[in-house]
Structure 1
Amino acid sequence: MSLGEFELIGRYFSGHDKSDAVSLGIGDDCALLNVPQGSELAITTDTQIEGIHFFKNTDPFLLGYKSLLVNLSDLASMGAKPIAFTLSLSLPMADENFLKGFSKGLFSLADKHSLPLIGGNTTKGQLSITISAYGLVEHGRAMRRDNAKDGDDIYVTGTLGLPGFAVALGYNEIAMDKSVFNECYTKSMLIEDRCAFARELSRYSKCAIDISDGLIGDLKHILDASKVGASINLEDIPLPCEFAKYNLKEKVYDLALYGGCDYELLFTASKCFRHNIEDIAQKFCTKVTRIGSISKNSKLQIINHGIMCNQNLKPFEHF
């Protein structure tokens, strides 16, 4: 006997709606959030669709984790503290094995932040997961795309290119054993969120974005919004260990620059804060790499050992 909508919600998603930030949780037409004086409410929404954002038959635990992670990545890019989220889930059928794994993955990340689920919707249809997440940031302290300044250093967290590698493996654009895909795909779905690091980073950085459309695509968003240019040192781009392990000589930088779905932070900061950024990177055990600098002109230059490179590939776009 299949689960009904309310039994589904009650069994796998209810009871997670309590926190100091929530004055009214699940059970009414709307949830109510407390927004303290002096804070701004940061809001983000992302949809994950089977066959577009993840492969068919992906482990539901990974889907639950990753669906929330992409929203937390947006909040991190603003320096916001996550306070609540909603979930809208479209399912071909109420499969209890899927729901058990999905909810376990979802709350494995939510519970890390004591993050309540305060509402949402379930319906029948193609597998689709939409999460809206809410965060608080001190008034005037949000890191924004339009705040990069001439002379700023450019940084990224973590490494870049592994999710793009996993996608290329999944579509057989790179021919390797199935076990390599399984290893890289799993690791690329379980990316560490940068929320705690980003909140302290916002003391020193005024400009950040999360890397979802590829390093170059998202850097261009910053440059366009801030009306500046940039110079990137290709040899400084941090690469995952898998690139050396599987000898990806010719594809390394295409994946790192344009692959997308890294969900790391790309941010700028004044040179005077280099030591401060090193300190918080060490405090939060976060790999941080300086990869270039902001310039006055409106051009983006990619330099490889002193030689300018051509930009031949476009970043990911949905349409």
Structure 2
Amino acid sequence: MKAVVLHAAGDIRIEERPEPPAPGRGEVRLRVTRAGLCGTDVSEYTAGPMMTPLKTRHPNSGVLGPVVLGHEFIGVVDSGGESFAVGDRVAAGAGVWCENCSWCRRGQTNLCESYWTYGLSADGGLTQQITVPEAMLHPIAPHVADDNAALAQPVAVGLHAVDRSRVRPGDVVVVHGAGAIGSFVIAGLKAAGAGVIIAVDIDDGRLETAAKLGADVTVDASSTDPLEVVRELTGSALADVTVEASGVPDGLSRVQRLTRRGGTVLLVGLPKGEVSFTANDLILREIDVMTTVAHVCDQNLPAALALLAERDLASLLVERVVPLDRVVEDAFMPLAGGTARGKFLVNPRELS
């Protein structure tokens, strides 16, 4: 079978790989029908290894690369399984947890002490078949198209972020950075009943998409100070929740000035440099600073699939579906070059 294999930064190859092993107890083998690409995949391609174990064996998965990428994937059950039948369509959470450590017992499976991820810590879903644990799979509703269902994992990440933000119905929320993860957070905030969602970015296309996803107000920060917009909407109260999803080094300082006394700042984007902020202001105005990573599979993945059963997010977010053997030229290169305008999906069953 063919797979998309990362060997080093700038070195991705379409290779023949052996078929995955027959499923053992608690496992199923999937025929992958769609896989999504995200910023992490692109970072591994342009500057890796950052998360993939290409030089050092991963301590939890035990894998030493090269690595098949792809941590956003769906498929059809091909064999094995106790909870699913052959032919069932399922979405994968990609993360693997132990169920026994103190974090798992608290329900924080995304923080499991032995957590690892298909497509980053071990061979993932940018291939034609894969054997995975049943525990990380959830069923896809029959009427949900593959392109839409393929967004389940990143939507789950967005929903976990919304949970961590502690947003309440009616809250005024600012999302700073309306790129990939920011878009999924906006969709989650809309579903959670946020009062007014303000999307801030410097890209007109992203802001247009944000409005379609549910942002009530969009702000081009290259020409307008977001603080002026927030004050106009709230008076001196400012925003109840601010979400920093851009990853810029001064992102925290940018959003804290938009946050009301007693409000919440949620950090989503991963900065590449040191983060700057004014601690005294956070303390004296008693602003909570929260963080978020990945998702809690059993909670957030079913919620994501339920949201996708109600909304066709693919029509708003997916730019193109590419064949497996064209993924470098038609997906990784435009994403790395900054010319992509939306989400890229891969159809492993299609070859050019």
Between Structure 1 and Structure 2, the one with more helix by share is: 1
TM-score exceeds 0.5: no
Task: Compare relative contact order (CA 8 Å, sep 6+) and give the higher one, 1 or 2.
Answer: 1
TM bucket normalised to smaller: under 0.3
TM-score with structure 1 setting the length: 0.25
TM normalised by structure 2 equals: 0.24
